[in-house]
Structure 1
Amino acid sequence: MNKENLLQIYASGFRKNWELPALTEFGSDQTMTYADMARRIAALHLLYEEAGIKRGDKIAVMGKNSFAWVVVYMATLTYGAVIVPVLHDFNVQDAQHIINHSESVMLFINESIFDSMEFEKIPAVKAVLSLDRRAVLAEHPVTNHAVEKFLARLPQKMRRRYPHGFTTADVDYPEIDESTLAEINYTSGTTGFSKGVMLTLGNLGGNVRFGVASRLHYRGSRALSFLPLAHAYGCAFDMLTPLAVGTHITILGKLPTPKLLLKAFAEVRPNLIICVPLILEKIYRNKLRPIIEKPSVRRALKLPGLKTLVYRKIRNSLVEALGGEFEEVIVGGAPLNHEVEAFLHKIKFPFTVGYGMTECGPLISYTPWRNFIVSSSGRTLPSMESKIAGSRNQETEPGEICVRGENVMKGYYKNPEATEAVIDAEGWLHTGDMGTISDRGIIFIRGRYKTMILGASGQNIYPEEIEAKLNNMPYVSESLIVERGKHLVALVYPDYEAMDRDKVHNEQLPALMEQVRTDLNRIVAPYERIDRIQLIANEFEKTPKRSIKRYLYNA
């Protein structure tokens, strides 16, 4: 695999794809070419120089996906500073803590978010700049408005620095060793404790080089970016990899509702779709399952000749709904519901499930859809190793999944104790996920180590596996399996949309849920049987990647 330095990949890529479209904001006629983007990156480099930003200084960015967000990230990376992405839906207190903990000296932010902040509570920040327009929102008194003054003169400074215009010859990024810190990404996981993951140029480069070598994106291909770019998954494969090869990225800067997503897919017709399970699960529940549950369709599915035709029609309609021109859909960020996965495989829908975590920037395993094994999470990357800790037979006996290699983080920022707790002396990262690994390095995940429940007779109970079955039951929108004393209890948020469709009233729910419990207990192991179902009034609180914050419900 090509080991070209990450910054040189971008330097040569921008030059090669100079006239091609790089970024478009969905719903507008604004498009930025690779030349435009490289020019704006150069302008930010000038601003950093004037503001006294040094290599290794931290620059925070907090806002919705946008042109400006991408430019700030790429400019910081190619300058040699450290980017600190802050998810835009973090609350203000958490955001201010992250900015302070990371020791960020400059902040780029959407003005609507900054309106709720208190500038005096982020004292290390020299200047706050808007992601919405060219403006300084706040500046530390000691700078004497230097950043604001320079920003006003930036166009003249660019003309003076590049008197013949900014050309491909001017794209020149520094040679920086790949062990150098490039990003601090603060996790927002299901365990409730946010840590600053230190990702090096080599960690990011490992993901990008694999994406390029696998032709996930290619010159002139189209991508629709709707996952948060502040999250490692969207960042690596909706931005960093496509920008390395000359892909045209359309940025969806709004909440990706099903209606808006389908409209965007139809217009953009992406060549690759990167998504989280929730999107396919909603399509299955709301669009596909009602079709296959129709009496006429159920009768047709019992006849071998018609069955093939029905599945082909469903597959073709789903492919067309997602734009019709993609090679595959890559699902990651959380486990995919088993029933949904099995049905998509049955109709030969081109999807695959990958596995990763922020600590690997994020990719650990992936297999192209044609070779994908259902219920797996793909094959361990060539640049990574994987093993099962605490297992006598890693192919059959679940244990903790451990990985090491090019993508594994440097550690947690200013937190050596947490680093030592997950990376052992031999360099193995203990993922906290339980599973098995085949002799070909294919990973099968059972559940989280921290959520595993020890049964009364010593059996390992994986709540995620029970929840996957329960979530497919009538009138169940989402669920959590928790331990209450010595009993297993299912917390259930009802599917009110299905209830309205079927004219089911709230007072009917207790009896319906008791039937659900009975049906569930017939298909799980005896030690996995649920003692009762407890209804909850509101949706479960979730992380930005739509995983339930389990720690809030374990008490």
Structure 2
Amino acid sequence: MTSNIVFSEKKQKDMEWAKGIVSRIEADRREFVKYKDSRPITDIKHMIETSAELYGDNTAFYQKYKGDETFTAISYRQMIEKVNGLGTALIHHGLQGKRIAVIGENSSEWAISYLAVICGTGIVVPLDKELSKEELKHLVQRAEVSCVLCSSKYRSVFQEISAELDQSLMLVDFFAEKETEGVFSLSELIDEGKALLQKGERQFVEAEIDSDAMSVILFTSGTTGASKGVMLNHKNLAADLMVSPTVLKVNTWDIFFSVLPLHHTYECTCGFLMPLYKGAAIGYCQGLKYIVKNLQEVRPTMFLGVPAIFENLYRTIWKNIRKQGKEKLVKRMIGLNRLTKKIGLDLSGKLFRQITSVFGGRLRLMICGGAAINPQVLNGIGDFGILALQGYGLTECSPMGALNPDTAPNPSSIGVCFPGFELKTVDLNEEGIGEICIRGDNVMMGYYQMPEETAAVIDENQWFHTGDLGYIDENRYAYITGRKKNVIITKNGKNVYPEELEYQLSLSPYIEESFVFSSTQPGESDISIVASIRPDMEFIREELPTEPTDQDIKTILWEEVDKINKTAPLYRRIRKLILRKKEFIKNTSNKLVRFAEENKVE
């Protein structure tokens, strides 16, 4: 289909930039860069307009509202109409060029609000719905937000914040049927904008996007409590969308299952903007407690998650298998299928139909990001006929850093670099481990109002220093060993990577989660490596004939620790074990807060 969009001289230059990325994709001769059908896009507005032209009648969103029996389908044509209506209304209310926050549960309303802001109204500021009122108030002030589009749950919070601030906030409720108490209704604004368009008000639909200007401010959750505002532009996002589907196939018939928070770049770029770029659909989960129910209703083909979600789902599958007394049978079936796969015959669909029905029966690909995952979980999911991959990203990279190709996945690796982007390690130690650095159009503009912090991570050659430590093998697959700031250095100058030990501990079925740190005791000549471990009590109880005592549990855990110690050099061995009975303190991204003293006690 030929696009009707007319470009100015500036946009023509942007199109040359986009075509240059597509040319680099086509010129990439690496075997795993298999899919080369990316279309050039200059910005997100250009992306959704061309997607609406190409896939108008396709479903963009599946949404289930409270009280509904089934999911409602919203087409690409309906999506663009809603975006244009809302954007027109927001400009009419004086918000052009303003900073506008979006907050709430994952929904088509969140998506349409985000697109209406970024595609011609102003700068979008996605906010973390898990933050406290005071934290939200601080970020609203810091980002100089003029308007907040939110789900009904957060309406009163922002009414209070607005009353406390010097400047008033325009508030828009996703789900309100009509304007009340000075809070606008999203649906009414969309209708208002559609009427204004009919009258010829075309500022929004004809707005030209400056793809080099700041368009998104994303506040990182950070483990220190000091959030940084990551500034992204349209080129950052457009570059990610063009290169990432080159190492895995995304089809127009795919349905992505949206469960991770949309304010995170991982879900926002990969689980929201990416499907829309490729003409796929998105089904919105109603919440974590509805995952299994919604999976069976939406019947998705693609699922983006984090280790905790995948590990819990995998553990639940095996728990149900054991309850039915079918563990030995299923393991034999897995063994059989592994043999038949070697001769090109995959029996997964027939052998494990009952198991995969938990995911809706059509799931073909699961992508894990956010943190390292036990490769046994990825392989285990794969045994049931669902390809499970690991990727790597950071907010500062919009977020794409690396991804495992679907034609040659390596479950122990974070993946390979994308076409046109660069990945390297610097300051290598004697073990060949160094800091991972990334360069490309995906790298952020910088940290909002923090020039010194920006200069500390982006060098003069435009390499972004991630703070992650790792290495790259001879096949160009990358591996993470830990965070630079978390490295434990012994008195002899040896490096111990706590994340590496935690990862090894996670391989044990007896261990739910762990936290490795160092301590110095009076009279000791060097530091001691300590592992605080929260056991998987359900699994332990299944294995033991009687209710285990603390000593029974510690004995089991020490046996698991000793397996690691036997193969580790002396300086890397775990010397002390703490039995942890409650979950570790984490931030809103579900990452361990390493410097919280409460995490170091029983």
Deviation at 1:59, TM superposition (A): 0.5
Aligned to 2:592: 548
Q: CA offsets, 1:117-172, max 9 Å, x none?
A: 43233434531111222555776xxxxxxx869996874663353269x9xx9994
Aligned to 1:278: 308
Distance 2:531 2:410 in 1: 30
Q: TM-score, normalised by structure 1?
A: 0.87
Q: For the structure 1 residues 279 and 406, does the alpha-carbon distance in structure 2 shift closer, same or farther, using more than 3 Å as the test? A: same
Asked if structure 2 preserves the Cα contact closer than 8 Å seen for 1:129 and 1:137, the reply is: no
Aligned to 2:260: 227
Distance 2:83 2:552 in 1: 61
Q: Which amino acid aligns with 2:175?
A: D
Q: CA offsets, 1:75-109, max 9 Å, x none?
A: 01111411100011112111111111111111112
Asked if structure 1 preserves the Cα contact closer than 8 Å seen for 2:424 and 2:438, the reply is: yes
Q: Among 72, 84, 103, which residue is 2:113 paired with?
A: 72
- Alignment map for 1:161-172 (pairs within 5 Å): 161-162=197-198, 172=205
Q: Among 149, 152, 158, which residue is 2:194 paired with?
A: 158
SS in structure 1 opposite 2:436? strand
Q: For the structure 1 residues 419 and 149, does the alpha-carbon distance in structure 2 shift closer, same or farther, using more than 3 Å as the test? A: closer
Of all paired residues, the percent bearing the same amino acid is 26
Q: In structure 1, list runs of 5 or more residues that go unmatched.
A: 140-146
- Alignment map for 1:28-427 (pairs within 5 Å): 28-55=70-97, 57-116=98-157, 117-135=160-178, 155=191, 158-162=194-198, 172=205, 174-213=207-246, 216-254=249-287, 256-257=288-289, 260-288=290-318, 297=328, 308=339, 318-341=355-378, 343-344=380-381, 349-391=386-428, 397-427=432-462
Q: CA offsets, 1:406-431, max 9 Å, x none?
A: 10000110111211111111111111
Q: Which amino acid aligns with 2:328?
A: V
Deviation at 1:476, TM superposition (A): 2.6
Asked if structure 1 preserves the Cα contact closer than 8 Å seen for 2:275 and 2:281, the reply is: yes
Q: Which amino acid aligns with 1:387?
A: K
Deviation at 1:295, TM superposition (A): 10
Distance 2:380 2:245 in 1: 30
Q: CA offsets, 1:299-333, max 9 Å, x none?
A: 97699769748996676655443333344211111
Distance 1:21 1:302 in 2: 37
Distance 1:153 1:177 in 2: 25
Asked if structure 2 preserves the Cα contact closer than 8 Å seen for 1:127 and 1:138, the reply is: no
Q: For the structure 1 residues 315 and 460, does the alpha-carbon distance in structure 2 shift closer, same or farther, using more than 3 Å as the test? A: farther
Distance 1:136 1:152 in 2: 8
Asked if structure 2 preserves the Cα contact closer than 8 Å seen for 1:76 and 1:83, the reply is: yes
SS in structure 1 opposite 2:314? helix
Q: Among 552, 556, 561, which residue is 1:515 paired with?
A: 556
- Alignment map for 1:496-535 (pairs within 5 Å): 496-499=537-540, 501=542, 508-524=549-565, 525=568, 526-535=570-579
Query: Across the two proteins, how many residue pairs are aligned to each other?
Result: 539
Distance 1:303 1:220 in 2: 29
Distance 2:326 2:191 in 1: 67
Asked if structure 2 preserves the Cα contact closer than 8 Å seen for 1:212 and 1:218, the reply is: no
Q: Which amino acid aligns with 1:380?
A: C
Distance 1:534 1:61 in 2: 42
Distance 2:187 2:304 in 1: 36
Q: Which amino acid aligns with 2:304?
A: I
Asked if structure 2 preserves the Cα contact closer than 8 Å seen for 1:99 and 1:122, the reply is: no
Deviation at 1:444, TM superposition (A): 0.9
What's the C-alpha RMSD, in Å, of the aligned pairs?
3.5
Q: Which amino acid aligns with 1:332?
A: G
Q: TM-score, normalised by structure 2?
A: 0.80
- Alignment map for 1:428-467 (pairs within 5 Å): 428-467=463-502
